[in-house]
């Protein structure tokens, strides 16, 4: 999965960034939002020896932006396109597709407000999922406005929740007071009919946000990317603005979100940047993605099993195995009786088995057996290499 992601990122000119697993707690309180579930319920936080509060990273956008600011990546030319892979930590109730240590593949494009970048990021997401083998995924999009239009919507939402919140779950009752937008992110089934009747944020977008959203949808249409607008999808983090999106898949049950992302044009400033650094990014739940596609994937086949017969043959075979590996052939060298080696070669799914004994070394010709057809040929080293190369192509 990660190999597929790296190749897709390369074609879109993204470069890897690695951030620490531990960050100062304040980074997430300021970046993710002090009243989000992540900060209030889910973070693994402890006090260091110097009384500094540290947290195992629950997500990686805030750390990437922190590194972007600290190392003045805004001084580099063009949009900064960064990707990451690694573990995150949240103290959630473990269930299918949700773990307390989980892995994310994510990317951030920093330095542009253009809806062209939004569409390109979403296009990259869909290409990555397709190449990973995920069929039947659904793209959901929305706009959550900006600092100009969202306050009016939040105030309207707060008014509506005065009557609605008492009939909702405890978390929603708390969120209605502290952060009304988070109510829309509730996953409690009984609350959904109430949420569906709450005001629609798209009806409150200012002209600039509406134009941005409409243009982004046009770019998605140009690319032939199908989507569904979900007006009450706000995502669970405070730093999102304008474009937000998710990709869901039915194989995961209740935890059906494979990835999520969105635009965060004010995050860098909230973390202390003196330079306006708009950005958009996403993170894939790698565990969930693997669970979604593992039934459709076959293990990568082994190209060659080498069977040396005798001590001298082992030394000879080891050198040949090295040379084949340098040419990109996957090789497993197995010592032992030929019958056992052939049995193991079948179990490993090897395409070919190369038999090397004293007679083969003396003649300079080796027995190469095609494990699918059973055909066996006597070939020189160069002919073996050519046969393997032809099979690989």
Q: Which of 325, 307, 324 is nearest to 367 (CA)?
A: 307
**Residue 66 pLDDT exceeds 90:** yes
- Determine which of 7-21, 247-261, 355-369 has the lowest per-residue pLDDT on average: 247-261
Residue 298 has pLDDT above 70, yes or no: no
Assess contact for 91 and 43: CB atoms under 8 A: yes
- List the domains of the chain with CATH numbers: 2-149+205-296 (3.30.930.10), 304-392 (3.40.50.800)
Q: Rounded to whole angstroms, how far apart are CA atoms 17 and 385?
A: 38
Comparing 215 with 391, the larger pLDDT belongs to: 215
Give the pLDDT band (50/70/90) at residue 287: confident
pLDDT at 297 over 70: no
Q: What integer is the mean pLDDT of 260-279? A: 89
Structure pTM? 0.78
CA distances from 238 to 33, 110, 145 (A): 5, 18, 12
**What is the reported pLDDT for 22?**
95
pLDDT over threshold 70, residue 254: no
Residues 300-314 pLDDT 10s: 778 999 889 888 889
Cα gap 304→366, rounded to integer Å: 13
* Mean pLDDT of the region 198-224: 93
CB 384 within 8 A of CB 366: yes
Question: If you average pLDDT over residues 205-230, what whole number do you get?
Answer: 94
Percent of the chain residues past pLDDT 90, beyond the cut: 36
* Local confidence band at 182 (pLDDT 50, 70, 90 cut-offs): confident
Residue 236's pLDDT is what?
57
Q: What is the mean pLDDT of residues 53-71?
A: 93
* 10-14, 158-162, 206-210, 259-263: range with lowest mean pLDDT: 158-162
**What pLDDT score was predicted for residue 338?**
87
Question: Range with the lowest mean pLDDT among 39-53, 165-179, 226-240?
Answer: 226-240
Q: Of the candidates 146, 141, 265, which has an alpha carbon nearest to the alpha carbon of residue 206?
A: 146
- Looking at residue 9, its pLDDT comes to 96
* pLDDT tens digits along 218-247: 999 999 999 999 888 876 566 788 999 999
Q: What is the mean pLDDT of the chain?
A: 87
- Asked if pLDDT for residue 393 goes beyond 60, the answer is no
Binning pLDDT at 50, 70 and 90, where does residue 8 land?
A: very high
């Amino acid at each position: 999965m990660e190999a597929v992601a790296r190749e897709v990122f390369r074609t879109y000119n993204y470069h890897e960034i690695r951030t620490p697993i531990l960050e100062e707690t304040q980074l997430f309180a300021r970046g993710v939002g002090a009243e989000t579930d992540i900060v209030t319920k889910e973070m693994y936080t402890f006090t260091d020896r110097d009384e500094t509060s540290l947290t195992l990273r629950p997500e990686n956008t805030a750390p990437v932006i922190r590194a972007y600011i600290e190392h003045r990546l805004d001084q580099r030319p063009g949009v900064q396109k960064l990707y990451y892979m690694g573990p995150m930590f949240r103290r959630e109730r473990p269930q299918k597709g949700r773990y307390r240590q989980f892995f994310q593949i994510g990317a951030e494009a920093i330095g542009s407000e253009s809806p062209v970048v939004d569409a390109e990021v979403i296009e990259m997401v869909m290409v990555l999922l397709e190449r990973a083998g995920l069929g039947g995924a659904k793209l959901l999009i929305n706009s959550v406005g900006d600092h100009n239009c969202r306050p009016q919507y939040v105030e309207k939402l707060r008014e509506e929740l005065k009557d609605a919140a008492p009939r909702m779950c405890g978390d929603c009752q708390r969120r209605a007071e502290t952060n009304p937008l988070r109510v829309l992110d509730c996953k409690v089934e009984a609350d959904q009919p109430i949420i569906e009747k709450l005001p629609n944020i798209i009806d409150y977008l200012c002209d600039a946000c509406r134009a941005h959203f409409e243009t982004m949808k046009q770019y998605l249409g140009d690319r032939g990317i199908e989507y569904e607008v979900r007006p009450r999808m706000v995502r669970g983090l405070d730093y999102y603005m304008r474009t937000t999106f998710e990709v869901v898949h039915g194989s995961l049950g209740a935890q059906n979100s494979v990835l999520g992302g969105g635009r965060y044009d004010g995050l860098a400033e909230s973390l202390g940047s003196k330079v306006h650094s708009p950005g958009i990014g996403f993170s894939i739940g790698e565990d969930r993605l693997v669970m979604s596609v593992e039934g459709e994937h076959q293990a990568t086949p082994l190209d060659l099993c080498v069977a040396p017969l005798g001590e001298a043959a082992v030394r000879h075979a080891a050198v040949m195995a090295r040379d084949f590996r340098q040419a990109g052939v996957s090789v497993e060298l197995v010592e032992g009786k030929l019958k056992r080696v052939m049995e193991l070669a079948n179990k490993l799914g090897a395409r070919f088995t190369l038999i090397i004994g004293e007679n083969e070394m003396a003649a300079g010709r080796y027995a190469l057996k095609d494990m699918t057809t059973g055909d066996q040929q006597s070939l020189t080293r160069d002919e073996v290499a050519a046969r393997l190369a032809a099979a690989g192509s």
